[in-house]
Amino acid sequence: MNTAINIENISKSFPGVLANDSVSFDIISGTIHAIVGENGAGKSTLMKILYGMQKPDNGFLKINGDIAKFQSPKDAISAGIGMVHQHFMLADNLTVWENIVLGIDSSNLSKIKKSKYIPDITDLSKKYSLPIDVNLTIDDLGVGEKQRVEILKVLYRGANILILDEPTAVLVPQEVEELFENLKNLVSQGVTILFISHKLDEVMEIADRISVMRGGQHVGTVSKETASKKILAEMMIGKDLPTPPSRETLISSENCLQLKDLRGEPSLGKIPFEDINLEIKKGEICGIAGVEGNGQRELSEAILGLYPVESGQIFLEDIEITKLSTRERRLTGISFIPEDRQSQGLVVESNLVENIILGKQSSNTYSSKFKNVLFKNASKNSKDVVDNYEVKTPNVQTLALALSGGNQQKFVVGREIDGKPTFLLASQPTRGVDIGAQALIWDKLKEARDMGLGVLLISADLDELLGLSDKLYVIYEGKLVKQLEPTEATPEQLGSYMTGLGI
Amino acid sequence: MKVYLKILSFFTPVIALAISFGLTTFILIMIDRDPVETFTLMFDYGTTGKSIVSILNRSIPLYISAVAVAVGFKMGMFNIGVEGQYILGALIAAQVGAVLILPRPLHVLTIFIVAAVVSGIWAGISGYLKVKKGVHEVISTIMLNYIGAGIVAYLLANVFFEKDENNSLKVPQTNYLLESGQLPPLNNILGIEDLPNLNSFIVGAVFVGIFYYWLVWKTSLGFDLRATGLNPVAAKFSGADPNKLIVLAMLISGGIAGLVGMSNLVGYFHRYTIDFPTGLGFAGITVALLGRNHPVGMALGALLISFLERSSQILDLNNIPKEIERIMQGIVILVVVVSYEVVRRYILTQEVKLASRMVDKDE
């Protein structure tokens, strides 16, 4: 057995985050090797390093036994590595063969010779059983066919190691079957395939070996024969669950947020969430565990009034808010920590004073009777948040983008908890932040809860969920499939509910 | 922001202008003209009393047009339709003004309001189309420019025309505004003698600038506009309603565009004629870029462009091709826009460095 890639001790850090922490494993030639892990586990950073898009801080790669130092994807391509991105990189108004040769022909001004390329491409498509009419325009192709073109494109560039980033995310089931057939064919001809996914079913079906990543580390590599969905789920989630700290119950009997039979409007024929019934009291943290993409995003957007609700009701402190606009909901005191602070929670090109206003720009705190912005309050409150939440910044005039991820997140959390909100929706509040920031955010969330705040905590981090939640639900395919006691839940239980196995 | 970064940011336009002069000098040498002589001629002529009044008068509509464009820019929208908006607004306002009989302040004010409302509605169509039909505002505003120009031509030829003395020929222009609908020049009030008339709508331009500053930087609505311009997703999550903002921004931008023609209408021509200046809407885009959408920056930009246009008129008389001014304008805009971007990136990286240094010290 030859190894196609040796990953040796690769580490890579970004400000505040250790994305890859001494990752080592081997990929055997002519196999399908899957890499699984939650979002943020470090899969994509590892792939970017493999494809030369990023350089590791430490460690090195061996391709077919030779040490490889990639400066750019160009080097990776010449070493025989090809990447099929999740989002296709195709020119829609060109034909299949034009897309395949795009960027290859270096004879700048001469006409690209059709006759030179088409036979080659046709041969290639026959050789690897990837049937396609090379004269069709990309616009006229289905998603599965477009993906086939992407694969042909990298093969045409001489790749014998293919990286497929979440290839099934865009496909319907039949197309997935076809793709898997194609992949098996490729492997039988000696191609090595790296398959990135978080769907355990698929991984079990297609992969020969499976590596699991968690929190930037390589947890382990198992072969298909020894693996099961359950084992993989446990590896993804982690075995050692923290014991939730015991505490006096401060949960009040007053309702904070209620969701009644909530059902989201179908989009692309899918119902994002349905039969959602939840009751969160003041002083209570309700956790929702789940693998990403099971309706969490749509549910949180529905609570904020950004995702259309088909039926059901939302009550805040016993007042129905189902029909209110996002702004009106914000004014009634709904706070929100978004999963992606940079795109959803901050205007990074503005300073912290302006950012403290975001989300409360029409509240009495920041808007006068004549709708003028009260920058005095903003200045004072931003300083308070910076002090109380240990946000490291030269001053509050600093642009948000100058802060590290952890400090940005502390600022967002501070902004959302400060000013006495009635309810807090926290979506992945500590994703991608360093341990210090994480501990502080957890403390602040507990503190706010003890002061009587009701919190809905949506997370994929089980440490976080078990450590903070007073009650815990598992969401799977848009439904709350199980309520668990945070004190009694086991990783096996959580893992199987989260992956839809049930017990 | 550190002091030196602030100073750098402030002096960027000055540096850019210096570079532009350098490039123009090069071109002048290439065509065998004396650059020193050229610049001296332009400067001397551009700073005569007559020229200064003319420059100020030219700047008024340019500036207002720039502000109209900037309102859109601030929320990430391109109102390319100021051109069509202001000519349509000016024509309707001229016609309404010509038939009204009102005491002066009311008469003039009514003209302004009619212009702002007509232009605002014209721009609002683009906002509505974007929200309801997903039509990009660049496309719709450009198309509405043509339609606006067509409507103006039709109305002048067929509806609002004036008859000549024999009552036989149609003259494509509106009737004169009564005196109560005209603004007298500022010369008497300021005691300026022996100089051409200084248009008193310059006061209006100043108010437009102040209004723009207040609206965008001081109000909650302005906060929503700016947030949407910089990060539409975060703005939406913060409760800003993008659809409402798109329509509002277009209405406000168009409303301001309506005032572009006012200095010429109430202060100079006192009617809408075929001589009414066009092209100010497009020039406003240039000025907004030059002035970085800043109320003072755009004022300086408008003055600069007006200065170049005016002072270049002397060149032909001295056997220097006047087109050199067009080239200068082009160079200035190009260099200024590029230097803004270069400096902006430099300042951003410096800010990031400062912040991370601070964190390192702390740990």
ipTM score assigned to the predicted complex: 0.86
What residue in B sits closest to A354 (Cα-Cα)? B223
What pLDDT digit, counting tens, does each position of A250-261 carry? Answer: 788 889 999 999
Mutate to test the interface with A, among B220, B248, B361, B362 (most CBs of A within 10 A): B220
pLDDT of A233 higher than 80:
no
The verdict on residue B195 lying in a domain is: yes
Give the position of tokens 């912005």.
Answer: A373
The verdict on residue B289 lying in a domain is: no
What pLDDT does residue A198 have?
A: 73
What pLDDT digit, counting tens, does each position of B239-283 carry? Answer: 999 999 999 999 999 999 999 999 999 999 999 998 899 999 999
Domain identity same for A269 and A209: no
The verdict on residue A280 lying in a domain is: yes
The verdict on residue A112 lying in a domain is: yes
What pLDDT digit, counting tens, does each position of A268-301 carry? Answer: 667 899 999 999 999 999 999 987 778 999 999 9
Tokens coding A180: 């898997």
What residue in B sits closest to A366 (Cα-Cα)? B220
What is the rounded CA–CA span in Å between residue A176 and residue A179? 5
What pLDDT does residue B136 have?
A: 95
The verdict on residue B30 lying in a domain is: no
Q: What's the gap in Å between the CA of B214 and the closest CA on chain A? A: 9
Question: Cβ B239–A394 below 8 Å, yes or no?
Answer: no
Q: What's the gap in Å between the CA of B108 and the closest CA on chain A? A: 27
What pLDDT digit, counting tens, does each position of B330-342 carry? Answer: 999 899 889 988 9
Question: Cβ A404–B356 below 8 Å, yes or no?
Answer: yes
- Boundary (domain end) residue, out of A205, A237, A269: A237
The verdict on residue B42 lying in a domain is: no
> Which residue in A331, A350, A359 is closest to B230 by CB distance?
A350
| DSSP codes of every residue in B281-305 | HHHHHHHHHHTTT-HHHHHHHHHHH
Tokens coding B256: 């301001």
State the pLDDT confidence band at B316, using cuts at 50, 70 and 90. confident
- Boundary (domain end) residue, out of A202, A237, A272: A237
What pLDDT does residue A287 have?
A: 95
What pLDDT does residue A239 have?
A: 59
The verdict on residue A243 lying in a domain is: no
The verdict on residue A412 lying in a domain is: yes
Q: What's the gap in Å between the CA of A252 and the closest CA on chain B? A: 29
Domain identity same for A333 and A458: yes
The verdict on residue B292 lying in a domain is: no
Domain identity same for A83 and A171: yes
Q: How many A×B Cβ pairs under 8 Å?
A: 105
What pLDDT does residue B363 have?
A: 44
Average pLDDT, chain A: 88
The verdict on residue B68 lying in a domain is: no
Domain identity same for A232 and A320: no
Domain identity same for A12 and A59: yes
State the pLDDT confidence band at B76, using cuts at 50, 70 and 90. very high
Which residues in chain B are closer than 8 Å to A371, comparing Cβ atoms? 219-221
What's the mean pLDDT in A181-209? 89
The verdict on residue A246 lying in a domain is: no
Which residues in chain B are closer than 8 Å to A405, comparing Cβ atoms? none
Domain identity same for A277 and A214: no
The verdict on residue A421 lying in a domain is: yes
Domain range enclosing B95: 73-278
Domain identity same for A270 and A198: no
Domain identity same for A189 and A133: yes
Q: What's the gap in Å between the CA of B70 and the closest CA on chain A? A: 18
Q: What's the gap in Å between the CA of B73 and the closest CA on chain A? A: 15
The verdict on residue A363 lying in a domain is: yes
State the pLDDT confidence band at B13, using cuts at 50, 70 and 90. confident
CATH code: domain of residue A37: 3.40.50.300
Please, what is the end-to-end C-alpha distance for chain A in angstroms?
38
What residue in A sits closest to B240 (Cα-Cα)? A327
pLDDT of B361 higher than 70:
no
> In the Cβ-directed half-sphere of A191, how many Cα atoms lie within 13 Å?
27
Q: What's the gap in Å between the CA of A40 and the closest CA on chain B? A: 21
Give the position of tokens 């978080």.
Answer: A198
Residues of chain B whose beta carbon is less than 8 angstroms from a beta carbon of chain A are: 1, 218-224, 226-227, 230-231, 233-241, 348, 351-352, 354-356, 358-359, 362
What pLDDT digit, counting tens, does each position of A25-60 carry? Answer: 999 999 999 998 876 678 888 998 999 988 999 999
The verdict on residue B322 lying in a domain is: no
What's the mean pLDDT in B133-150? 95
What residue in B sits closest to A376 (Cα-Cα)? B218
pLDDT of A243 higher than 60:
no
* Least confident span in A44-48, A486-490, B141-145, B300-304: A486-490
Question: Cβ A371–B221 below 8 Å, yes or no?
Answer: yes
Number of structural domains found in chain A: 2
What is the rounded CA–CA span in Å between residue B93 and residue B115? 5
| DSSP codes of every residue in A123-173 | HHHHHTT----TTSBGGGS-HHHHHHHHHHHHHHTT-SEEEEESGGGG--H
- Boundary (domain end) residue, out of A210, A237, A264: A237
The verdict on residue B160 lying in a domain is: yes
Question: Cβ A392–B224 below 8 Å, yes or no?
Answer: no
- Sheet arrangement for strand A454-459: A334-337, A423-427, A454-459, A285-289, A471-476, A479-484
Q: What's the gap in Å between the CA of A387 and the closest CA on chain B? A: 14
Which residues in chain B are closer than 8 Å to A372, comparing Cβ atoms? 218-220
Domain range enclosing A72: 3-237
pLDDT of A429 higher than 90:
yes
Domain identity same for A195 and A286: no
Domain identity same for A332 and A211: no
Number of structural domains found in chain B: 1
The verdict on residue A244 lying in a domain is: no
Question: Cβ B237–A350 below 8 Å, yes or no?
Answer: no
| DSSP codes of every residue in A319-331 | EE-TT--HHHHHH
What pLDDT does residue A436 have?
A: 78
Which residues in chain A are closer than 8 Å to B358, comparing Cβ atoms? 392-394
pLDDT of A242 higher than 80:
no
What pLDDT digit, counting tens, does each position of A124-176 carry? Answer: 888 888 888 889 999 888 888 899 999 999 999 889 999 998 888 777 777 88
Helix H, strand E, coil C: the string for A249-302 is CCCCCCEEEEEEEEEECCECCECCCCCEEEEEECCCEEEEECCCCCCHHHHHHH
The predicted model scores a pTM of: 0.79
Which residues in chain B are closer than 8 Å to A326, comparing Cβ atoms? 236-237, 239, 241
Mutate to test the interface with A, among B221, B224, B231 (most CBs of A within 10 A): B231
